[in-house]
C-alpha cells in the first residue's frame, strides 16, 4: 500500500512521519503548482471551492507517482468540507483512477471509526505503535509552528531579500528528515540558530498584520499566492489566527474529549455574530477584534471564493472594522486569482497602514511609503 494525502502548508511533514513510523509507504504529492490547479479545475465542479479542486489535483498527481490509497479528513458542520471526501471519491471513480479513499472523520466521541480507519491503513497497528508515531508527528508539527512564528518576524526585517525564505526551506527539510523525537529537537535547535544568524535591517518598527479566514487558504501558500512571504518582504510581520497544531489540539483532541473551550471566541464575536456559522467564520470575527485590541495595524481575511462561513464574516467585518478601528482587506481566492493583482492590493494596503500609523503618531500623512 502506498498512502498519499492532500497538501496543506507543511502538514506533509508530520503526516509523512506518522505513516512512515507505522511502516506504511508514503507518496507525498508534488508541491501545489499550476499543473495541480489545472488538473483540479478540469475535473472538479466549477462552483466547488478551491480546496476541493486542489485536493483533486494532488490526488491525481500522487496517483501518477504510484500512490494507491488516499487519506482524507472529513468534517462536520455547515461547511461543505464535510462531504468533500465523498465527492472526491466519486470524481476519482468516474475518472477510473485506481485510488482507495480512507476518510478520517473528527472523532467527536466516536473513536471507533477513527481507530478502524487507522488500523485499515496500517494493516492493524497496535495502540502503542500508533501512539509513538503520533508523538513524533505531533512534535514535528509543534516545532514547525513555533519556528514559523520566528520566520515571520525575521522576514519582515531581513537584511538580504529571500534569505529567510531559503533558511525556512532548509529548516523544513531538516525537520522532515528527522527520524526520532530527539532528532526533531536537534533540528529545531539548529533552525533557531540559523534564523538568529540572519542579517537584520534596522529601521522603523515593522507593520503587524493579522491573518484570519478559512483554514485551507490561510495555511496553503500556493493558493494564497504566498501572501505571508510577500507581506514579509514588504516589511510586515504576519501572524495567523490558525496554526495547525492549535487546530489539531482544539478540534481533534479537546473537542473529542468535550473539553474544548471556545467561550472566548464566542464572547468576542457576540456583539456581531451570536452563533457558529461553520468553518472559521466566527473566529474571523473574534480574531479581528483580538488583533485590534493587541495593537495590530491591519487584518487580512482569506477565503476560497463561494466559502459560506467566510461570506458571512465578510459581510460583518466592515462593522467590526469601524467599531474596533482596524482596517480589513478581504481576498476571495480561486484559480483565477492573479499574483500581480494580489500584490497591487497588498502594496496599497501596506501604504494605507503606514499612513495611518504615521497620522496617529502625529506625523505628516502624505501617503505611507512602505518598503516594496
- Torsion angle of C-alpha atoms 92, 93, 97, 100, degrees rounded to 10: 90
327 touching other proteins, by CB under 8 A: yes
In angstroms, rounded to a whole number, what is the distance separating the alpha carbons of residues 145 and 248?
12
Total residues at interface with other proteins (CB under 8 A): 34
Least Cβ distance, residue 352 to other proteins (angstroms): 5
Cα 358 from Cα 116, distance rounded (Å): 58
| CB of 301 vs other proteins, minimal distance in Å | 13
Strand pairing report for 298-304 and 207-213: parallel
Q: Of the ranges 41-49, 138-146, 178-186, 350-358, which one interacts with other proteins (CB under 8 A)? A: 350-358
Q: Tell me how crowded residue 219 is: count the other CB atoms within 10 A of its CB.
A: 23
69-73, strands of its sheet edge to edge: 25-26, 2-4, 69-73, 100-104
Contact 288, 324 (CB under 8 A): yes
Q: Which stretch binds other proteins (CB under 8 A): 107-115, 201-209, 266-274, 362-370?
A: 362-370
| Site track for other proteins across 147-166, x = CB under 8 A | -------------xxxx-xx
Task: Give me the least distance between CB of 229 and other proteins, in Å please.
Answer: 7
Site for other proteins, residues 167 to 206, rule: CB under 8 A: 169
For residues 165 and 256, which CB has a smaller minimum distance to other proteins in the complex? 165
Residue 356 as a binder of other proteins (CB under 8 A): the answer is yes
Long-range contacts from 75-79, C-beta under 8 angstroms, 24+ separation = 75/105, 75/106, 76/105, 76/106, 76/108, 77/276, 77/278, 77/279, 78/276, 78/277, 78/278, 78/279, 78/308, 78/309, 79/278, 79/279, 79/307, 79/308, 79/309
Using CB under 8 A as the binding rule, the residues of this chain from 298 to 317 that contact other proteins are 315
- The interface region with other proteins, picked from 38-46, 192-200, 284-292, 338-346 by CB under 8 A, is 338-346
Write out the binding residues for other proteins, residues 212-231 only, by CB under 8 A: 226, 229
Binding residue for other proteins, selected from 77, 271, 274, 318, defined by CB under 8 A:
318
Q: From edge to edge, which strands make up the β-sheet containing 207-213?
A: 236-240, 207-213, 298-304, 328-333
Residues in contact with other proteins by CB under 8 A are 30-31, 33, 160-163, 165-166, 169, 226, 229, 233, 315, 318, 327, 332, 336, 340-341, 343-345, 347-348, 351-352, 355-356, 359, 365-367, 369
Amino acid at each position: 500500500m502506498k498512502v498519499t494525502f492532500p497538501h496543506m502548508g507543511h502538514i506533509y511533514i508530520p503526516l509523512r512521519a506518522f505513516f512512515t513510523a507505522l511502516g506504511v509507504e508514503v507518496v507525498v504529492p508534488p508541491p501545489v503548482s499550476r499543473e495541480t490547479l489545472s488538473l483540479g479545475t478540469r475535473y472538479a465542479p466549477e462552483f466547488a471551492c478551491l480546496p476541493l479542486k486542489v485536493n483533486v489535483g494532488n490526488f491525481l498527481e500522487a496517483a501518477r507517482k504510484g500512490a494507491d490509497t488516499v487519506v482524507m479528513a472529513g468534517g462536520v458542520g455547515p461547511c461543505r468540507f464535510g462531504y468533500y471526501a465523498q465527492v472526491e471519491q466519486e470524481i476519482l471513480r468516474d475518472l477510473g483512477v485506481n485510488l482507495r479513499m480512507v476518510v478520517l472523520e473528527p472523532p467527536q466521541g466516536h473513536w471507533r471509526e477513527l481507530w478502524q480507519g487507522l488500523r485499515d491503513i496500517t494493516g492493524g497497528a497496535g495502540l502503542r505503535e500508533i501512539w509513538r508515531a503520533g508523538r513524533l508527528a505531533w512534535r514535528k508539527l509543534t516545532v514547525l509552528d513555533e519556528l514559523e512564528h520566528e520566520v515571520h518576524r525575521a522576514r519582515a526585517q531581513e537584511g538580504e531579500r529571500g534569505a529567510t525564505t531559503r533558511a525556512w526551506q532548509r529548516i523544513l527539510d531538516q525537520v522532515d528528515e528527522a527520524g526520532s523525537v530527539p532528532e526533531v529537537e536537534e533540528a529545531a535547535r539548529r533552525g533557531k540558530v540559523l534564523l538568529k544568524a540572519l542579517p537584520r535591517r534596522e529601521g522603523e518598527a515593522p507593520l503587524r498584520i493579522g491573518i484570519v479566514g478559512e483554514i485551507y487558504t490561510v495555511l496553503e501558500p500556493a493558493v494564497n499566492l504566498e501572501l505571508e512571504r510577500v507581506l514579509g518582504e514588504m516589511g510586515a510581520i504576519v501572524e495567523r489566527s490558525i496554526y495547525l497544531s492549535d487546530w489539531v489540539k482544539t478540534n481533534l483532541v479537546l473537542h473529542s474529549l468535550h473539553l474544548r473551550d471556545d467561550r472566548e471566541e464566542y464572547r468576542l464575536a457576540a456583539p456581531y455574530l451570536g452563533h457558529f456559522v461553520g468553518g472559521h467564520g466566527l473566529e474571523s470575527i473574534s480574531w479581528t477584534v483580538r488583533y485590534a485590541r493587541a495593537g495590530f495595524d491591519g487584518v487580512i481575511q482569506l477565503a476560497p471564493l463561494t466559502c459560506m462561513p467566510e461570506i458571512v464574516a465578510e459581510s460583518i467585518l466592515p462593522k467590526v472594522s469601524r467599531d474596533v478601528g482596524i482596517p480589513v482587506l478581504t481576498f476571495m481566492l480561486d484559480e483565477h486569482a492573479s499574483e500581480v493583482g494580489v500584490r497591487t492590493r497588498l502594496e496599497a494596503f501596506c501604504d494605507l497602514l503606514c499612513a495611518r500609523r504615521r497620522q496617529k503618531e502625529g506625523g505628516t500623512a502624505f501617503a505611507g511609503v512602505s518598503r516594496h
